[in-house]
Amino acid sequence: MKPGALWAFEGIDGCGKSTQLELLREHLERTRPESRPLILREPGGTPVGERLRELLLHTDADELCPDSEVLLLMASRAELVRQRVAPLRAEGRHVLLDRSWYSTVAYQGGGSGVDADYIAQLARRVLGVHEPERVVLLDVSPTEAAARRGTAGQDRIESRGLAYFEAVASAYRDFARAEPQRFVLVNGSLDPQSVHARVLEGLGEHG
């Protein structure tokens, strides 16, 4: 059986990933029901991963250094690949990721200064053959994303300042330029249906 596709959605907090993932899942269920698409989130997606997610997002800001964040994210990712991604793809199911290792390089690398090559080496070890084949990058200005997020209930990552998210957004755009065959760059400032149409076009899907 041919392995199922592995596609990831990326972008800064507030870019609209959750909405677009759900629209794509619904599209695939209509047009390719045999793919049985499933959305998984990083960090998270497994019992251990969800506990690590809680630790990463809700620990007091000064209790985790960027290197610790990287290692915890990779631990969650390792569990997700072993327990969910690999078995699901072996069944021919399409896996849609809400974030991937590119988030770690953008946030902990571009935003927090951890060496990008070090993160990439860890990711290759963890992922093996399960690196996302296509990555949809929803490009939204940090100012607009901040307005979408608001201030209520922000986690420890979302509460970082505008300069931090400018650096993260810049790192994402560098990825898109460096890997044009893998990345689908979409203007996330458009209305959701327009964004969805561009996502489908970039992935070679048809409505």
Computed over every residue of the chain, the mean pLDDT equals 93
Residue 62 pLDDT: 66
Using the predicted structure, report yes or no on whether residue 160 has a pLDDT greater than 90: no
Using the predicted structure, report yes or no on whether residue 151 has a pLDDT greater than 70: no
Give me the CATH topology for the region 6-203: Rossmann fold (3.40.50)
Helix (H/G/I), strand (E/B), else coil: 59: coil
Band the pLDDT of 193: cuts 50, 70, 90: very high
Please give the Cα distance from 144 to 201 (Å, whole number). 24
Residue 207 pLDDT: 56
Report pLDDT digits (tens) over 7-50. 999 999 999 999 999 999 999 999 999 999 999 999 999 999 99
Mean pLDDT of all residues in 169-180? 96
Residue appearing with tokens 């994210």 = 73
Torsion of the alpha carbons at 107, 108, 111 and 113, rounded to the nearest 10: -160
Residue appearing with tokens 């990552």 = 157
Q: Which of 36-50, 145-159, 171-185 has the lowest mean pLDDT?
A: 145-159
Using the predicted structure, report yes or no on whether residue 146 has a pLDDT greater than 60: yes
Q: Edge to edge, what strands does the sheet with 183-187 contain?
A: 38-41, 95-98, 6-10, 134-139, 183-187
In the chain, pLDDT over 90 holds for what percent of residues? 85
Query: How many residues can be counted in the chain?
Result: 207
Using the predicted structure, report yes or no on whether residue 153 has a pLDDT greater than 60: no
Mean pLDDT of all residues in 96-116? 96
Q: How far is CA 3 from the centre of its chain?
A: 20
Mean pLDDT of all residues in 101-115? 96
Alpha helices in 40-100 (DSSP H): 47-58, 66-80, 86-90
Report pLDDT digits (tens) over 47-72. 999 999 999 988 775 678 999 999 99
Residue 61 pLDDT: 57
Residue 161 pLDDT: 85
Give the N- to C-terminal CA distance of the chain in Å, as an integer: 26
Residue 85 pLDDT: 98
Q: 181: Cβ–Cβ under 8 A, 6 or more apart, which residues?
A: none
> Considering the entire predicted model, what is its pTM?
0.94
